């Protein structure tokens, strides 16, 4: 049993310790110190882990940003490599329907390329090229024009393909009641639509009339005038047309009783016209459509992108895919 002095000493001892800021109850023991140290170490470890995780996340974010920037740069580079290009494609008038479809198909797959078509008689197109018109690809209705450009050094080496074949037909409009059956009795027509001698179909018609004895075979077919043809046929009225499309429309609308066009053209208006005769190639000779890339007069004026685009479009024109389109318009494969 504690005596009063002992109790008093205990109380004063507690008071004295309290006054110093540390009572007996607040005094730390070794176990408590160890626990506090462990807690502090754990907190430091947690802070270190959080810092490391944050740093790692920042690094990953920076890497992702860098990769995205690199991808954007590559995409921009790819886009810039597909520069906008316009190709000037000169085609014989008889090819126009087929090429409208080919143009649409190609531009849909190559949005950076615009195909500008110039459809006319092959002779007119040849003259335009010789005069300096911008032309990337020339598709003629006969070999004569391409042969001439090759002689003049205006065809890119190795690009020519004699791609298609066709045939000449004699036509009349539906319900005309004509007595004409073909070239043999062409003189019975009231009027004839005929392309001039510089136009391939007009030249082929003259060649056939020479082979059948109507025209002088000693003359160059393209040099025989329309007036001379009329005279040889007994003075029949002839409407001289600038190209095969003009002949077709003149007959289809009934302006002329008969005319000569390509089978491919006649087929495009088969609901309005009637085919009287398929003229044999024994009379006309082979009707070949060659295509080639045209060499510019000034190569420095043509970009590498332009040249490459022309090469790619030419490859498309001569492909099996394009040939399926040509054959639907009654052209024959001559490859």
Q: Which residue has the tokens 């090229």?
A: 129
CA distance 127 to 133: 9
- The two beta strands, 168-173 and 161-166, are unpaired
DSSP E strands, 140-257: 161-166, 168-173, 191-195, 237-241
Q: What is the pLDDT of residue 82?
A: 75
Burial class (CB within 10 angstroms; exposed 0-12, middle 13-18, buried 19+) of 126: buried
Q: What is the pLDDT of residues 135-169, one digit of tens each?
A: 999 999 999 999 999 999 999 999 999 999 999 99
CA distance 43 to 45: 5
pLDDT of 74 > 90? The answer is no
User: Averaged over 32-47, what is the pLDDT?
Assistant: 52
Q: How far apart are the first and last CA of the chain?
A: 129
Q: Kindly give, in sequence order, each residue whose CB lies less than 8 Å from that of residue 140, ignoring residues fewer than 6 positions away.
A: 92, 122, 125, 126, 146, 200, 289, 290, 291
pLDDT of 19 > 80? The answer is no
pLDDT of 27 > 80? The answer is no
Q: What is the pLDDT of residues 285-311, one digit of tens each?
A: 999 999 999 999 988 888 999 999 999
Kindly report the pTM of this predicted structure.
Answer: 0.72
Bridge-partner residues for 89, per DSSP?
117, 137
């Amino acid at each position: 049993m504690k005596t009063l002095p002992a109790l008093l000493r205990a109380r004063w001892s507690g008071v004295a310790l309290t006054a110093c800021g540390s009572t007996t109850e607040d005094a730390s023991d070794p176990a408590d110190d160890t626990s506090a140290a462990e807690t502090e170490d754990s907190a430091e470890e947690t802070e270190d882990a959080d810092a490391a995780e944050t740093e790692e996340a920042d690094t990953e974010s920076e890497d992702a940003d860098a990769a995205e920037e690199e991808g954007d740069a590559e995409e921009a580079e790819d886009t810039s490599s597909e520069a906008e290009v316009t190709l000037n494609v000169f085609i014989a008038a008889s090819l126009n329907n087929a090429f409208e479809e080919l143009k649409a198909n190609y531009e849909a797959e190559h949005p950076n390329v615009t195909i500008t078509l110039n459809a006319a008689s092959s002779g007119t197109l040849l003259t335009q090229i010789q005069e300096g018109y911008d032309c990337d690809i020339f598709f003629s209705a006969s070999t004569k024009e391409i042969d001439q450009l090759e002689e003049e050094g205006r065809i890119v080496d190795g690009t020519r393909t004699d791609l298609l074949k066709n045939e000449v037909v004699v036509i009349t409009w539906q319900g005309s009641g004509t007595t004409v059956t073909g070239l043999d009795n062409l003189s019975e027509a009231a009027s004839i639509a005929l392309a001039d001698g510089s136009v391939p179909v007009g030249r082929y018609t003259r060649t056939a009339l020479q082979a059948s004895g109507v025209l002088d075979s000693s003359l160059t077919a393209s040099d025989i005038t329309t007036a001379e043809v009329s005279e040889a046929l007994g003075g029949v009225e002839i409407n001289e047309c600038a190209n095969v499309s003009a002949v077709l429309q003149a007959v289809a609308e009934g302006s002329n009783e008969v005319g000569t066009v390509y089978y491919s053209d006649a087929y495009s208006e088969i609901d309005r016209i009637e085919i009287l005769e398929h003229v044999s190639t024994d009379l006309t000779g082979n009707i070949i459509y060659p295509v080639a890339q045209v060499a510019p007069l000034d190569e420095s004026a043509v970009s590498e992108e332009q040249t490459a685009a022309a090469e790619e479009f030419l490859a498309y024109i001569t492909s099996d895919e394009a040939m399926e389109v040509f054959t639907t318009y009654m052209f024959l494969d001559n490859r």
